[in-house]
């Protein structure tokens, strides 16, 4: 349609804010294998992103989450550029994990940087990172999402990002359907978001990586707009030792793009990635 | 009553978190006259508080708000101890104002320090600081307060403190009754809070200083618990050049304690402080 | 010469680290007129620099210095990106000055960010910012510069940057020749540096802005390498209301490039900029 | 002597600045066993110190160092109060080590907090923490210590604390006598310091814990003043599983005070602590 209303134009601008994500499930590695060592590591992506649709760098915060040998999740977050975080660099040389998420932030201009708005988010065993945006979030789904939550999930929210609210929807689903797989929960969350976006006349993109330590699930999804790119890789399809998901390929090895409106699901036991296309597409 | 339930005991513990406040209206001064120079300045109170009911120091953040000659409000906030904030010290030697608020924070243990949870809060011309607590806020009035707000006020909230939510109630009242005085607005807010606390079986304390640059209003108030102390001073009652309100007297000059459940209201034009006792007392 | 030694190559790499500077002397303005409002303000230069020889953004710190009506210098510094510093934005809307310096930092990779390594530097009435580098500073002039200083100047140094050590040389000169003009002091400093660089077989670039509140002096200078660009502007040469110096033009108005190895000197009384070429050139 | 000069009085004031330290060598533990879990953990000591001679709290920075299974040293440092550092809390639940140092800082009033002035300091395999002070350091031993260093050690120094300069002396000794034990190096360092203090008419206290991962060495020492207290503990003298050193006992179990002018040395292999009194005493 040639005619775009001002509201629509603003919405599109609001949507192009983007972070850079990475997720890993496989044999135990040091975190620096994701954050620093690859040619186009998260560190490199933070100051030299190749597929960022807006902004110049992702310098407004950094976070990493990982599981220890007992399956307990840990997080480290900061509001400074990854490249200035010497503590994170130390940490990444020390921590070994078979499941980890990483994140560098591009925040909305003019906002105060709060640690609580930094990802990954955590609840019980879950770790979660999100790249994308709900268009005009404060005016559209902010209050409706909160209103839909049970008291216990409502109280989990510490910040004001759309990302944390999407995570709250996912937690809410798992609270009411505790036997669901992560994939079911992520799909249900995207469906709920899509329904809400339709009802409140907005759009969103939701590239998500979520894990419980035993499985990892990722989505490239959007409603009413285009989703950012997302890639995944496994060294050897027949004998995979890991599955890695990232906003941009970390290296020159073989990386596959996520199809639009698709998910990837992988369990630690098998390391066989299962990709599927979502039906409830825009 | 000799019998206190466990819930009540927890509530009392939760209530004794306290910050230190100062407010000023009068002839133009440098901010260091409030923050550093007095014998028991806010700086001194931050590491050597005398009337703090819990905690040892107020080192979990600092903030100052002031008005320029045109009546525009400015804020400076940080999440470090006042005594380590060299930028604030510079600023306080530079800024001159006839109306200012100051604040040092004692935060709940174990929480992430976010700038958005630092006071003063600001909305349009209003600056606001609060010392006290809503007992078990997350479980009691957090959601009811938010639900009572209009969309525009709802969106003002950037953090998760009880203080910011009390401020939102005050903003809500002024939005619906824009011709009210600050005193009316503060009284109405305390009444609303009291009604909500009764309904949700909780208690709170609310020592508040709020200003619009042309008048300053303060309360020492509590429902179901005891309010922290609060003091005020004016150098010469007959020919006052300023009215200062503070959690603890800044100096050896004459300071008067606020009566329990009382307010003080003063306009820049007259500088005649008006104190009154609130009727809706616990 | 076609043959460049490895040492030389490293030297060149080390030299291309760069910050962005701005200096102002003239009728009183709000700081936001330098930091935020111009089309290519320091804010804009911090994430979208046009003439940076290395790096992508200047996000490793920010600082501003200014003089009040009595000629006292003030500084504000932080180790976060300018674009995330909400306190600086507030401050820049409040502060009015007839003489100010601004700075955004591009730090060496992998170093811990310390406030003490943030500019402007200050000593007595002097404010100072530097863009450029002494090649392999730690291995070349770090210790020789320190050894050349009197005890009182030695103790001024709080950090480990080449910039602060160049400032120390300038302070040392003014301490021994207190009646010198800023221009004489800056020239002498550059001469001393050049002699030291020759002696210790290194190179450096020194784009400097220094002020005492009553005059402002700037240099574009290098020895053994090329100096970064530097520009200056005055609205009306015949009736100037100010002189502004900046790493990159702040706007489309007329800006003049500094010639290589040149200085600009201007006094608050006349606002007549005096440019001159340095004799002791590489 | 009844007569104390002004210089002496100032010196005494300058000396009473104090941090809190802990060191551990033994069977592998989680860091939270030192930092959070004991009744009087480093966390508890940070806001409720019992034997601090000056100040109220140790809120001006925090640091921890540890060795991994391969003997590589890691550090984490921050400039905020330990009790507000949620990243450190996460980390301390994750990191397991058989050798660790911890530190909470009480900084000089009015100084800018730089990460580089936070302990532990590290060089190669060494980790080092210091509690105490060189009296009037900037005016007495600052420059003499630096002048005594080789170029390579000189360049290790990133900050301006007396602590880091004492560490540099120790590194210098080990560089020239690489086969020395830590105990020899610490003794030599204290001797050198004592000689320098005599020559430059100053005093100092040096409670130090230093480790290379395979042994741990601690001192309680002062020249011309009194050393802060220091304690050590081992659960079972006959069958020790660890040796812990701390500024204040972490718990009610048996802790032994260090004698004045004494050292403790323990190797990981034997875990048999060797205490001795230093001859070169004030």
pLDDT at C1 exceeding the cut of 90: no
What is the C-alpha separation between B98 and C100, in angstroms, rounded?
25
Cβ pair C56:A60 closer than 8 A: no
Chain B contact present for A150, CB below 8 A? no
Handedness of CA C189, C192, C197, C200 (dihedral sign): negative
Nearest chain B Cα distance for residue A142, angstroms: 9
Residue count of chain B, please give it: 282
Please state, rounded to an integer, the average pLDDT across all residues of chain A. Answer: 91
Task: Tell me the C-alpha distance between A217 and A263, whole Å.
Answer: 7
- Average pLDDT score, chain C: 91
> Considering only CA atoms, which of D46, D48, D49, D50 is closest in space to residue D59?
D46
Residue B268: strand, helix, or coil: coil
C-alpha D5/C-alpha B19 separation (Å) is 41
Least confident interval from C113-122, C193-202, C205-214, D9-18? D9-18
**Structure-token pair, residue A17:** 């804010």
Residues with Cβ within 8 Å of C39's Cβ and at least 6 positions away in sequence, in order, are: C250, C251, C252
* pTM of structure: 0.93
Range of weakest confidence among A192-201, B49-58, C148-157, C172-181: B49-58
**Inter-chain touch D75–A90, beta carbons under 8 Å:** yes
* Distances D74 to D164, D166, D175 between C-alpha atoms, Å: 17, 20, 21
- The span from the CA of B158 to the CA of A158, in Å, is 10
Question: pLDDT tens digit string along D70-79?
Answer: 999 999 999 9
Kindly list the residues from chain A whose CB atom is less than 8 angstroms away from the CB atom of residue D86. 115
- Mean residue pLDDT of chain D comes to 91
Over range B181-194, report the average pLDDT.
97
How many H helices and E strands in chain A? 8, 14
C19 is catalytic: yes
| D39 DSSP 8-state letter | T
Question: DSSP strand E in chain A: where?
Answer: 20-30, 62-67, 73-78, 96-104, 121-123, 126-134, 204-211, 215-220, 222-223, 231-233, 242-246, 256-257, 262-267, 274-277
DSSP letter assigned to residue B134 = B
Contact yes or no for C90 and B75 at CB 8 A: yes
Optimal mutation site among D115, D117, D140, D154, interface C, most CBs of chain C within 10 A: D115
Chain C CA closest to residue A79: C80
What residue ranges in chain B does DSSP mark as E strands?
Answer: 20-30, 62-67, 73-78, 96-104, 121-123, 126-131, 204-205, 207-211, 215-220, 222-223, 231-233, 242-246, 256-257, 262-267, 274-277
- Nearest CB to A87: which of D72, D77, D93? D77
> Partners for D (CB, 8 Å, 3+ pairs)?
A, B, C
What's the pLDDT band for B238 if we cut at 50, 70, 90? low
Facing B112 at nearest CB: one of D60, D86, D110: D86
Contacts of C86 in chain B (CB under 8 A): 115
Q: Is the peptide bond prior to A250 cis by the omega test (within 30 degrees of 0)?
A: no
Closest Cβ opposite residue D76 in set A68, A87, A115: A87
Question: Which has the minimum average pLDDT: A29-43, B124-138, B232-246?
Answer: B232-246
- Whether C49 and chain A come into contact, CB under 8 Å, resolves to no
- CB of B178 less than 8 A from some CB of D: no
Q: Which stretch of DSSP H or E encloses residue C90?
A: helix C86-94
Element holding A43 (H helix, E strand): helix A42-47
**pLDDT tens, C73-91?**
999 999 999 999 999 999 9
> What DSSP designation does D128 have?
E
Residues of B in contact with A152 (CB under 8 A): none
Tell me, yes or no, if B139 comes closer than 8 A to chain A by beta carbon: yes
The tens digit of pLDDT for each residue in C116-174 reads: 999 999 999 999 999 999 999 999 999 999 999 999 999 999 999 999 999 999 999 99
Which chains share 3+ C-beta pairs under 8 angstroms with B? A, C, D
The answer to ipTM > 0.95 is no
Please tell me which of the candidates B142, B155, B159 has its beta carbon nearest to residue A138.
Answer: B155
* Residue matched to tokens 């032994």: D256
Strand B242-246 to strand B231-233: parallel, antiparallel, or no bridges (unpaired)?
antiparallel
Q: What is the pLDDT of residue D139?
A: 96
* Residue D242 distance to chain A (closest CA, Å): 23
Q: pLDDT tens-digit profile of D92-106?
A: 999 999 999 999 999
Query: Are A86 and C56 in contact (CB < 8 Å)?
Result: no
């Amino acid at each position: 349609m040639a005619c775009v209303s001002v509201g629509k134009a603003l919405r599109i601008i609001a949507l192009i804010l983007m972070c850079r994500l990475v997720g890993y499930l496989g044999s135990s590695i040091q975190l620096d294998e994701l954050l620093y060592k690859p040619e186009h590591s998260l560190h490199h992506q933070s100051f030299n992103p190749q597929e960022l649709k807006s902004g110049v760098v992702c310098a407004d915060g950094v976070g990493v989450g990982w599981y220890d040998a007992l399956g307990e999740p840990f997080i480290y977050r900061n509001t400074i550029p990854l490249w200035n975080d010497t503590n994170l660099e130390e940490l990444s040389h020390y921590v070994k994990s078979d499941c980890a998420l990483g994140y560098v932030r591009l925040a909305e201009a003019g906002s105060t940087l709060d640690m609580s708005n930094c990802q990954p988010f955590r609840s019980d065993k879950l770790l979660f990172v999100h790249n994308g945006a709900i268009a005009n979030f404060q005016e559209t789904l902010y209050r409706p999402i909160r209103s839909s939550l049970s008291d216990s999930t409502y109280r989990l929210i510490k910040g004001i990002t759309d990302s944390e609210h999407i995570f709250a929807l996912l937690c809410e689903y798992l609270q009411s359907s505790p036997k669901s797989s992560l994939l079911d929960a992520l799909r249900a969350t995207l469906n709920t978001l899509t329904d809400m976006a339709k009802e409140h006349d907005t759009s969103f993109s939701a590239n998500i990586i979520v894990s419980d330590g035993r499985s990892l699930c990722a989505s490239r999804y959007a409603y009413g707009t285009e989703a950012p790119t997302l890639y995944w890789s496994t060294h050897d399809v027949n004998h995979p030792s890991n599955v890695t998901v990232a906003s941009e390929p970390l290296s020159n090895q073989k990386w596959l793009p996520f199809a639009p409106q698709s998910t990837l699901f992988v369990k630690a036991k098998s390391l066989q990635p299962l990709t599927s296309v979502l039906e409830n597409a825009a």
